[in-house]
């Protein structure tokens, strides 16, 4: 009898715990502030990438972010996926100097990049990266949209979220106030500071907000290049299941037709 009571109590506790856990997790995931909503072309279950936007986003990465952030999971040749031609990719790769070696004399050397090279690392190692950034390490951006709650929405918010600190908040030396960064003090100086900081090849007006959106789209593609294939496959599977379901139902009706 007593054992049964203990069991029931344990069950009740377990149910209570599992019911409260997801809520707690969801709360933590919400973060401190709500992110401004951006209508990205890849939002929703059927969304796809806007190639022109992803290309502009790569330009923002290349001309601004690449000074501090690497993307070591990407090779230059992957840029063909976003619609750049063979020649453009070769030219982009050749415009950077890549560390290679050792050569026959055992020395490391630099050479122009090739399409098969991974994106150039901006710093030789993490210590050098920290030394150049006030002790903070700029994270690799290859899968950053997967590594942060909110993904592209968060990256966009972070890039446009630099403001003056509210009354009574002192920002530490070398830090910057950002509304959307957890804790609000970030070591990254605002990378996108003024409209027209870049000129986009397709004539799009390069406002800070536009550059932030575009680079967020590019980082989403980088983290999830298979997104469109995966979604197209999902649609095909749903169509297949609908047809199969219809057939199964028809067969069932036929087989059971004589049973009254």
Binding region for ligand HEC (CB under 6 A): 60, 64-65, 67-69, 133, 136, 138-139, 144, 148, 155, 158-159, 181, 186-189, 191-192, 215
Residue 162 burial by Cβ neighbours in a 10 Å radius (0-12, 13-18, 19+): buried
Shortest Å distance, C-beta 250 to ligand HEC = 53
Contact status, residue 51 vs residue 83, Cβ threshold 8 Å: yes
Q: Which is nearer to ligand HEC, 114 or 224 (CB)?
A: 224
* CA dist list (Å): 56 to 53, 136, 181: 5, 28, 24
Shortest Å distance, C-beta 190 to ligand HEC = 9
Q: Which is nearer to ligand HEC, 70 or 138 (CB)?
A: 138
Q: Which is nearer to ligand HEC, 15 or 169 (CB)?
A: 169
Q: Which is nearer to ligand HEC, 136 or 171 (CB)?
A: 136
Residue 231 burial by Cβ neighbours in a 10 Å radius (0-12, 13-18, 19+): middle
- Return d(Cα 92, Cα 72) in angstroms, integer: 16
Shortest Å distance, C-beta 85 to ligand HEC = 25
Contact status, residue 135 vs residue 129, Cβ threshold 8 Å: no
Q: Which is nearer to ligand HEC, 48 or 134 (CB)?
A: 134
Residues with Cβ within 8 Å of residue 178, at least 6 apart in sequence: 158, 161, 162, 163, 184, 185, 186
Shortest Å distance, C-beta 102 to ligand HEC = 30
Shortest Å distance, C-beta 119 to ligand HEC = 14
């Amino acid at each position: 009898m007593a054992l049964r009571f203990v069991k029931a109590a344990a069950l009740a506790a377990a149910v209570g715990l599992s019911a409260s856990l997801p809520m707690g997790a969801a709360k933590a995931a919400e973060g401190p502030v709500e992110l401004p909503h951006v209508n990205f072309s890849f939002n929703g279950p059927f969304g796809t990438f806007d190639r022109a936007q992803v290309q502009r986003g790569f330009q923002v990465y290349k001309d601004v972010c690449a000074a501090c952030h690497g993307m070591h999971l990407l090779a230059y040749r992957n840029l063909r996926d976003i619609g750049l031609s063979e020649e453009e990719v070769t030219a982009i790769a050749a415009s950077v100097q890549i560390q290679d070696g050792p050569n026959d004399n055992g020395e490391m050397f630099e050479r122009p990049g090739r399409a098969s090279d991974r994106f150039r690392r901006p710093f030789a190692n993490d210590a050098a990266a920290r030394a150049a950034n006030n002790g903070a390490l700029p994270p690799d951006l290859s899968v950053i949209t997967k590594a942060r709650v909110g993904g592209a929405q968060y990256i966009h918010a972070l890039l446009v979220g630099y403001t003056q600190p509210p009354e009574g908040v002192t920002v530490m030396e070398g830090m910057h106030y950002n509304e959307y960064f957890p804790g609000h003090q970030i070591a990254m100086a605002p990378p996108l500071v003024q409209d027209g900081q870049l000129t986009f090849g397709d004539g799009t007006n390069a406002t800070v907000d536009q550059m932030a959106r575009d680079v967020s789209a590019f980082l989403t593609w980088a983290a999830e290049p298979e997104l469109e294939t995966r979604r197209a496959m999902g649609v095909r599977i749903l169509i297949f299941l609908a047809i199969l379901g219809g057939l199964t139902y028809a067969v069932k009706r036929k087989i059971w037709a004589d049973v009254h």
